Amino acid sequence: MKDGIYSEKKFNDYLKANGIYTYIQVAAFRNIDVAQMVSNSLIKKVDYNVYIKETIKMKPIFFRILIGPIEQEHVKDSIKQIESLNIKNYFITQEFIY
């Protein structure tokens, strides 16, 4: 991305090529047991994978619940699905997968 002007598709291709994917973070907990309980409940209710990702540089450590990866063209539909579960405090994040 040298000139900074790219179509959405080209930008999405760039992200994928560099191992960066779109997720929706729906919650974060300090207790891994609570995170696992919520994650297990979500697995049955959403059309995407559900992950628990531990914060790396933050103290105290939080266990973030991520849904995805989600293709850009499906973000709106996945948000509708999340909101239908009465989850209101979510945000979209792009995560590097290694």
pLDDT tens track for 56-90:
777 889 999 999 999 878 889 999 999 999 999 99
Query: Which CATH number covers residue 58?
Result: 3.30.70.1070
Note whether residue 82 is domain-resident: yes
Q: Which one-letter DSSP state was computed for residue 86?
A: T
- Whether residue 2 is predicted with pLDDT greater than 60 in this model: the reply is no
**CA distance from start to end of the chain:** 21
Percent of the chain with pLDDT over 70: 86
pLDDT band at 6 (very low <50, low <70, confident <90, very high): low
- Structural domain count, the chain: 1
Note whether residue 3 is domain-resident: no
Note whether residue 2 is domain-resident: no
Note whether residue 1 is domain-resident: no
- pTM equals 0.78
Q: Where are the alpha helices (DSSP H) in the chain?
A: 8-17, 32-43, 75-84
Note whether residue 78 is domain-resident: yes
- How would you classify residue 60: left for phi > 0, otherwise alpha for psi between -120 and 50, otherwise beta? beta
Note whether residue 81 is domain-resident: yes
pLDDT for 8 equals: 64
- The range of the structural domain enclosing residue 69 comes to 8-96
Q: How far apart are CA 28 and CA 10, in angstroms?
A: 32
CA-atom Rg of the chain in angstroms? 15
